[in-house]
Structure 1
Amino acid sequence: MSAIPQERRVVTAIPGPKSQEIQARRAATVAAGVGSTLPVFAARAEGGILEDVDGNRFIDLGSGIAVTTVGASAEAVVRRASAQLADFTHTCFMVTPYEGYVAVAEQLAALTPGDHAKKSALFNSGAEAVENAVKIARSYTKRQAVVVFDHGYHGRTNLTMALTAKNMPYKEGFGPFAPEVYRVPVAYAYRWPTGPENAGPEAAAQAIDQITKQIGAHNVAAVIIEPVLGEGGFIEPAKGFLPALRQFATENGIVFVADEIQSGFCRTGQWFACEDEGIVPDLITTAKGIAGGLPLSAVTGRAEIMDAAHSGGLGGTYGGNPVACAAALGAIQTMKELDLNAKAKRIEEIMKGRLVALQEKYEVIGDVRGRGGMIAAEFVKPGGKEPNSEITAAIAKACHAAGVLVLTCGTYGNVVRFLPPLVIGEDLLDDALDVFEQALAASV
């Protein structure tokens, strides 16, 4: 039985008086560049509910941006992390190692695609994982160029800003960026000029042609792609695109990196989204859902590639922190015991059923897409496909006021994304979708 009742409750204006009081303190001491989607201050969270300091309970359709996949404060995560806290909080794996790090690497070797020998290195954030994947690929191939894709997002460090496609808010005013990064088209089916049925083969041909002519395949260390593009709008590359890029990488000695930071760990109804088309990446980056809310990330891949970097070349003071490793083992245990892949598929069934029905009723919903618990609706202006960021923002604001936490995304800021904890009750999901429908109806 949940300590927090699993039901939506709005008892004050949003934000309430206590949140407004803390917000005033925040404005005086927290850098303005750190934004927040919803200016309420969390007090407790569990299952599919987030409770703020004023006692309002929000249905959580964001999961802290795909992090609390197993729910906030999942029992196995709390129990294992608490036990580790009591033993020791830190030694630095590079100074005196500990078993938890090894156990997480073993789980990653078992769960990630492919039956080849695999090794892992652990870090703190998704951006760190991507940056280290580039270091490893360059060390292995002795090449420098890195290929990324339109609408891709890979982080906020200097190198990962260069890899990220969208300027605002991620890159504006922060350059110059790291060199030897090249961007090519992605198979965005809904917006492909010759129609969705052509997007896969045509986008792959264009991307490969640009790589070959503008960079030279023999100069490319790595191709990095999200199997479902997250911040760019929950774009599923059209069928055939990823296999064509995977084959091209194999034929040209290029390290194929699947960035599964947002899409991994049961989020799409499979352990990893690249499994949908049978893609076996050379390296896979993970974070977010890996540790139930504690900071942990990983690069996992072919043993011979992972071993290319010299001893001491990979690491970091907090990388693979023992408490975070304990939490990860608890999160993975929960995913297996509750069969969260099956739960993700059930969430997709419910959400797509409702959203497609709304799409047929409201012209402003141009596309409904995604897999598992990673679903999105793209909003357009009536009569075409012009992005409609205004209605997107209005719907999100109305949902927030009614006690449903939703997030927006997309290169054009016109996508509402749904990332519920995979343990969410179906009654909560239905209630949240009712609120979304009401917000949509009031906004058109």
Structure 2
Amino acid sequence: MQAAHRATQVMERIQTLASFSAMPNGILRAYLTEEHRQAHQQLAQWMTQAGLEIWQDEVGNQWGRKVSAHPEMPTLIIGSHSDTVANAGGYDGPLGILLAIEALDALKGVDLPFHVDVVAFADEEGTRFQTTLLGSSPVAGMWNPALLDRKDKDGVTIGEAMKRFGLDPDKVVDAARKPEETLAYLEVHIEQGPLLESLDLPVGVVTAIAGAKRFLIDVSGVAGHAGTVPLPLRHDALCGTAEMIACIEAFATEHEIVATVGKCEVRSAAVNVIPGQVQFSLDIRSQSQDKLDYCAPLLMTQLAAIADKRGLTITHEQIYQAQAVPCSDRLQQVWADVVESATGKDVCYLASGAGHDAMVMANIAEMGMLFVRCEKGISHNPRENVETQDVAVALDCLINMIRSLSPSRAGTD
């Protein structure tokens, strides 16, 4: 089967997976739902057609294995996630799974010296239970049993949802893979950013996944009448917050990190009342964990200085933290070799500002990622789009990546 035909088949399968959705006019596929079950049943069928042995693990991930005659060798794992955010695009997650299945179908007649496993992680986005990486964390040996009591918006716990899905919550730990039995973890993913498009490149090699810290920040002043309190005597929490937000943007630029205020709420707001209380969120990211650890407290000090100057009080609560994870230098080089061979162009190295299953899989194996250009960098949006010719390049790169990790050089169909 020719590469162009295989790429077209991947694109058609993307649309099929998009039909497994809880939204009638959009894509929503959350963990342990009927849509999850339907999507994984379809993926299992495609895995079987590619000659893979299939199974579902104890957390609901769908696996397919290209079996090797050398089971004593560590296994190569290739994967991504099958779940989505609400009103999602079709490519974030599923593209990486379908490329892996297609690559192993192309290698169906090749005897590799190790097993190759494709995995569709059942939850990366955290849409249903508001906690991310539920699919890959147990596989990487990082399962927290306390999560079984976490509830969705309907009051259903993860443990209850697992039982309804036919899983045994007590056996989640059995999904763990051993580091000594894992050769490497590879993931192909849309970039979710505009860099590759700006450089007119179909793919790029990922250097690291950025670490992140998230905070909820409360600013308190004094509410008052909008018409009777002179400006110099006000303790306006919203004006103080506005200055803080401008400070955050300038700080991020100066320190070469990214920082985002995504939510801002004026408590007890009224058109004729000076805002007395404001809460806003802060998301800080860097591919350097040292820089992230340095910048977060320094920025908080600057925000506190603004509050003090304005006669406000400020408190903050850290609500999330993820460590920055570098990609394997060795795998970056192998990716670069196959990308240069496939494109004939200089290789673009870029960091990921978004989190991925690869972050936790790096705890048990070398990890390497390939990004695929997406239109205007749009993701988590129905306008998310990838070109078929870029999918063909990514597929070629993945096939040759698998072969490059193997002494086998037999041809593909």
> TM-score, normalized by length of structure 2?
0.27
Could you say which structure has the higher strand fraction?
2
> TM-score, normalized by length of structure 1?
0.26
